[in-house]
A = this chain, B = another copy of it.
């Protein structure tokens, strides 16, 4: 297939007819497929089914003798902190174990910062006129929802022309305006582009000057062990870098086992400086007498050690890699030489970021929906749901079986082409 932009009007009209017929046939199949969320499949959840019987009869004592059934232990089980310390690159003593959702830890950190000054800060954010966060785009919609909820303005930071993180712009903005309080950041296999921060970039984030005395990086290490290839990308140890840069309180690190064990019944982690952790623990001590330690024990027994986590992740990779390969193959085969789309290929994570012809993403998503293929809503990878070029679509192939990924992607590329031809004929 030729580049669409090189086609004459007649050729485009002919192509449109052809695509419309193909689309009508696809729609007639009455499919119901879903590529919306980074949700593990039932097969992946099966890998951790041992948890359904753990910790097991009479087993309720942590390594230090704690009766996990009773109240207490705000910090989380030591043995579980030990397992995840090397994976999240946070000293075990500076790691807190939470319940089933790292999103909750992020939300509660922001919510507390709204009402209580952070270490080093002099004002609670609720008293700041128009507090703001930097949001590299495309990014994760649930991060953006937290800002929107609390009325924190989101300042999108577009990638550079070569598609890299625009670290210069982040430095410039952070230094220029004291109302900029934070940066949402997925350091590894990011949602949705799959990109990973370089050591040099991480060093700059750790060392940069921020106008706000309470500026924080929300380092969401959601995919720390979620490799899709043999190339296990390594990320800079941000807590250590911040400490070395003399800004120990700059970062909150988040992680979870939502895509390691059970998405809805895992454990979560918050890692930070001693001062930040003390701030957080002090506030949540009024909220709870402790997390679910039995579930923490269950996880410690099941995962055993960091190596145990890595081994489990191999199984996830074996399951996921063919789905991601399928997405890549179909994109390359169907859109490779059309000039109407670009996409990412990641070493890990849960997403493929697809850029379609400017001004057609919403239409692609609409067409796909009509044909029974659910995609993440248009704009959701941008703050306020507003993709300025209306071109980014997040593809999440983890949940459906590979045959369904195939079918769904056939539909997606068809919609991408149809929307592009329509657009080109309009223009």
| A56, A101, A146 pick with most chain B CB within 10 angstroms | A101
Chain B residues within 8 Å of A150, by CB: 115
Say yes or no for A52: interface residue by CB 8 A criterion.
yes
A149-B203 Cα distance, complex, nearest whole Å: 36
**Stretch with Cβ within 8 A of B (4 or more), from A36-44, A167-175, A223-231, A346-354:** A36-44
Judge whether A264 and B73 touch: CB under 8 Å: yes
Contact of A370 with B by CB under 8 A: no
* Copies of this chain in its oligomeric complex: 2
Interface string of A285-299 (1 = CB under 8 A from B): 011111111110000
**Distance between Cα atoms of A53 and B69 in the complex (Å):** 13
Complex Cα distance, B264 from A73, in Å, reads: 9
Q: Is the CB of A99 within 8 A of B292?
A: yes
Residue-wise, chain A 40-73 has the 8 Å CB interface mask toward B (1 for contact) of 1010010011011111111110000001111111
In chain A between 101 and 120, which residues have their CB closer than 8 angstroms to a CB of chain B? 101, 103-104, 107-108, 111, 114-115
* Complex alpha-carbon distance, A53 and B114, angstroms: 41
A262 sits at the interface (CB 8 A): yes
CB 8 Å contact bits of A253-278 with B (1 = contact, 0 = none): 00000100011110000000000000
Q: Is A380 an interface residue (CB 8 A)?
A: no
Once bound together, how far apart are the Cα atoms of A70 and B40, in whole Å? 7
Contact: B292 with A68, CB < 8 Å? Answer: no
Question: Are A294 and B115 CB-contacts (below 8 A) given A37-B71, A71-B37, A288-B103?
Answer: no
Contact B263 A70 (CB under 8 A): yes
Task: Determine whether the beta carbon of B70 is less than 8 Å from that of A262.
Answer: yes
A290 closest partner in B (C-beta) = B264
Verify if A423 is at the interface (C-beta below 8 Å from B): no
* Cα–Cα distance between A103 and B56 once the two chains are bound (Å): 28
Is the Cβ of B288 less than 8 Å from the Cβ of A101?
Answer: yes
- Cβ-defined contact, B68 with A264, below 8 A: yes
Closest to A144 in B: B286
A residues whose Cβ falls under 8 Å from a Cβ of B:
37, 39-40, 42, 45, 48-49, 51-60, 67-73, 99-101, 103-104, 107-108, 111, 114-115, 126, 142, 145-146, 148-150, 258, 262-265, 283, 286-295
**Which 3 pairs show the lowest CB-CB distances between chains A and B?**
A265-B294, A107-B287, A69-B262
Knowing that A52-B58, A103-B288, A145-B286 touch, tell me 13 more A-B residue pairs with CB under 8 angstroms: A39-B71, A45-B60, A52-B57, A69-B263, A99-B100, A100-B288, A101-B290, A104-B288, A111-B115, A115-B115, A115-B150, A142-B286, A262-B294
